[in-house]
Structure 1
Amino acid sequence: MEVAVRDIDLTQVNLNLLVYLDTLLTEKSVTRAAHRLGITQSAMSHNLRQLRDIFGDPLLVRGKGGMQPTPRAEQLVLPLRSGLQSLRRTLEGESTFDAAASTRRFVLAAGDAVAMLLLPPLMERLQESGPNVDLDVVPFDGRRYAGQLETGEVDVAISAFFPDAPAVRMRKQRPASFVCVVREGHPAVGETLDLATWARLPHVLVSPQGTGGPGIVDRALAKHGLERRVAVRIRYFLAAPLLVSRTDLVLTTTRALAEMFAVDLPVRLIPPPVELPTFSIGTAWHERVAKDPANVWIRQQVAAALKAI
């Protein structure tokens, strides 16, 4: 079956419609899209009709829970947002970036643990070098981060683990190591933690993505023919040390994070009984902004803040 290829004359197209389409695909609601762009609902409905004529596709159809994008619309999301972002940067014409005078808002993607470690030193730097620069910090999602960087939805991602993705550049910034955390006065743990006790104790496991596969501790124990019991599996780093401080659970986590919690909680930090692999917290950005002055600047600030942790 042959599919006809349509030639579209851009001089006959209102390019503002692409902004409307991007907003419609984000909001999945004519009413919310109209409110976001400051136009009437009837005007947005008229724009949607024009877009359907241009693309020869319904784009959005009513479904359970609201309007849902068609397969054609889903294909448009990434190239549309990437194109609008490139056009925006072209019109802004930034060849330099004056951080001291800028009022730009950067979007960073980071998990809660990374955000807790990174944000205090990062904000200290921004107060000095970019006092009017603002930040939005959104959750890091390994399944979506590459698309978010491509479209400009996220400027820089910060994480310990990045799934491979085309056109995404990465740089390891700060080495990190693991430590075990138990409550003060734990009845089964003395000054050190032996392998058998480590395996026998109930563990709390932080899994930000909610996956249930074996982790670093499980693989280390398996080498010695041992298994552990994960008594609590959660997605939030903040909750884990609070649980440990009031129970007999043991947590194996990054030393920098554990040291932060040990300041305020009655917990002890103990080296793991076996050697665990080290890792690095790093940054990721899309290659199209590799030389963008503003993106280069915020990456430099993040890198310096990571070194200060």
Structure 2
Amino acid sequence: MAEADLNLLIALDVLLAEKSVAAAARRLGLSESAMSRTLGRLRQTTGDPLLVRAGRHMVLTPHGEQLLEAAPLAVAQARALLKPAASALNLATLERVFTLRTNDGFAQVFGPALVAALAQSAPHAGLRFVAKPEKEDGPLREGLVDLEIGVLKNMGPEIYLQALFQDRFIGVVRAGHPLAQSTILTPQAYATYGHIVVARHGTGRGPVDNKLSSLGLARHIVAVVPGLGAALSIARQSDLVALVPASFFLHQAQNSGTGSVPGLVGFELPVQTGAITVSQMWHPRQHNDPAHRWLRECLREVCTRQYAMLNAMAGVVVVNGQ
């Protein structure tokens, strides 16, 4: 069976509404003969006369009456589908839950500002933060998440990636720790104490260990924990040294209301490990979606603004490495 010509849909809507070939022709800018031929095609397609003569006028058949209400809705839906994507977005009425796959630290630092931005611009939309036990592109490819956020590598050539900000690692110890008393911290002093690292898998060894190794040094990793909060908690109650992103530590200071993190001191590392580029990543299927594009722009603006505010508190990190 041949496919129906969807171009007839608008003509059907107008003919049913006008109940006149002549009036429908004028409304569509066609000749009466062309409109008559279109009505013939509609009759053939639907298997029903649709309009029949009753004296000097035309009236709808029972099937035509059934289509009278359905046709305008079908035309409106078709037009909505074919609108340019950008014009279809109305943030005030947007009802959508966006899923972000990220670590707990990012959600703590940037989540509140992002939620506030969403509530202001798209009050009926929502956010769902989900954990990422490992780096993989499966959830994006399968459409399970809207954005993957973090230090992203080897996610496939078709995956879009945009840098959000550059972070760095710092060391954290309890207030009163010998390292907190130093005005200049050496790699040797840093490697003297036991360490806490955050890692979802493996031993947690990375760039810091590589730099220390090049100096003939090694740190003793006493504890590996899954989250940044646990690392700070252990550091606060021991002589162990935690390694955390500066943004996370500065956020704790910002939230304390005192400009510092109670019971803890942050310091710059005595070895250079390079910046950490935190990015957002998305699948091509979402690239031109207007709501998704707005979410990406909103996230980038929030991260830029929030990280600038945190950097203004950089004096909280008081010990300099050398």
Structures share fold, TM-score greater than 0.5: yes
Q: Contact (CA 8 Å) 1:218, 1:228: kept in 2 or not?
A: yes
2:224 alignment counterpart: 233
Matched, 1:151 2:142: yes
Aligned partner of residue 175 in structure 1, secondary structure: strand
Matched, 1:221 2:189: no
Q: Contact (CA 8 Å) 1:142, 1:162: kept in 2 or not?
A: no
Query: Following TM superposition, by how much is the alpha carbon of 1:204 offset from its aligned partner in structure 2, in angstroms?
Result: 0.2
Query: Following TM superposition, by how much is the alpha carbon of 1:164 offset from its aligned partner in structure 2, in angstroms?
Result: 2.8
Matched, 1:275 2:275: no
1:165 alignment counterpart: 156
Q: Contact (CA 8 Å) 2:211, 2:273: kept in 1 or not?
A: yes
Q: Contact (CA 8 Å) 1:184, 1:266: kept in 2 or not?
A: yes
Query: Take 1:195 and 1:238, find their aligned partners in 2: how far apart are those partners?
Result: 25
Counterpart AA for 2:262: L
Query: Take 1:213 and 1:271, find their aligned partners in 2: how far apart are those partners?
Result: 19
Query: Take 1:225 and 1:163, find their aligned partners in 2: how far apart are those partners?
Result: 31
Q: Which moved more, 1:212-221 or 1:230-239?
A: 212-221
1:293 alignment counterpart: 290
Greater radius of gyration (CA): 2
1:132 alignment counterpart: 124
Q: Which moved more, 1:177-186 or 1:135-144?
A: 135-144
Q: 1:160 to 1:154 in 2, by over 3 A?
A: same
Counterpart AA for 2:188: A
1:184 alignment counterpart: 175
2:5 alignment counterpart: none
Query: Take 1:167 and 1:188, find their aligned partners in 2: how far apart are those partners?
Result: 46
Query: Following TM superposition, by how much is the alpha carbon of 1:167 offset from its aligned partner in structure 2, in angstroms?
Result: 2.1
Query: Take 1:109 and 1:181, find their aligned partners in 2: how far apart are those partners?
Result: 27
1:123 alignment counterpart: 115
Q: Contact (CA 8 Å) 1:179, 1:272: kept in 2 or not?
A: yes
**Runs of 4+ in structure 1 displaced over 3 angstroms?**
141-144
Query: Take 2:266 and 2:148, find their aligned partners in 1: how far apart are those partners?
Result: 29
Matched positions, count: 219
2:94 alignment counterpart: 102
Q: Contact (CA 8 Å) 2:204, 2:224: kept in 1 or not?
A: no
Query: Take 2:135 and 2:264, find their aligned partners in 1: how far apart are those partners?
Result: 34
1:206 alignment counterpart: 198
Q: Contact (CA 8 Å) 1:179, 1:255: kept in 2 or not?
A: yes
Aligned partner of residue 238 in structure 1, secondary structure: helix
Q: 1:196 to 1:235 in 2, by over 3 A?
A: same
Query: Take 1:102 and 1:200, find their aligned partners in 2: how far apart are those partners?
Result: 55
Query: Take 2:285 and 2:159, find their aligned partners in 1: how far apart are those partners?
Result: 9
Q: Contact (CA 8 Å) 2:158, 2:283: kept in 1 or not?
A: yes
Counterpart AA for 2:271: V
Query: Take 2:238 and 2:203, find their aligned partners in 1: how far apart are those partners?
Result: 23
Cα distance per residue 1:228-278 (max 9 Å; x no partner): 100100111121111111111111221111112343431111111122211
Query: Take 2:298 and 2:132, find their aligned partners in 1: how far apart are those partners?
Result: 19
What is the RMSD of the two structures over their aligned residues, measured on CA atoms? Answer: 2.2
Q: Contact (CA 8 Å) 1:169, 1:286: kept in 2 or not?
A: yes
Query: Following TM superposition, by how much is the alpha carbon of 1:184 offset from its aligned partner in structure 2, in angstroms?
Result: 0.5
Query: Following TM superposition, by how much is the alpha carbon of 1:292 offset from its aligned partner in structure 2, in angstroms?
Result: 1.0
Calculate the TM-score normalised by the size of structure 1.
0.66
Query: Following TM superposition, by how much is the alpha carbon of 1:154 offset from its aligned partner in structure 2, in angstroms?
Result: 0.2
Structure 1: state its 5+ residue gaps: 1-89
Q: Contact (CA 8 Å) 1:140, 1:159: kept in 2 or not?
A: no
Q: Contact (CA 8 Å) 2:91, 2:121: kept in 1 or not?
A: yes
Identity of matched residues, %: 26
Query: Following TM superposition, by how much is the alpha carbon of 1:182 offset from its aligned partner in structure 2, in angstroms?
Result: 0.9
Query: Following TM superposition, by how much is the alpha carbon of 1:287 offset from its aligned partner in structure 2, in angstroms?
Result: 1.2
Counterpart AA for 1:299: R
Query: Take 2:153 and 2:117, find their aligned partners in 1: how far apart are those partners?
Result: 25
Aligned partner of residue 132 in structure 2, secondary structure: coil
Aligned partner of residue 268 in structure 1, secondary structure: strand
Query: Following TM superposition, by how much is the alpha carbon of 1:213 offset from its aligned partner in structure 2, in angstroms?
Result: 5.8
Calculate the TM-score normalised by the size of structure 2.
0.64
Query: Take 2:103 and 2:153, find their aligned partners in 1: how far apart are those partners?
Result: 12
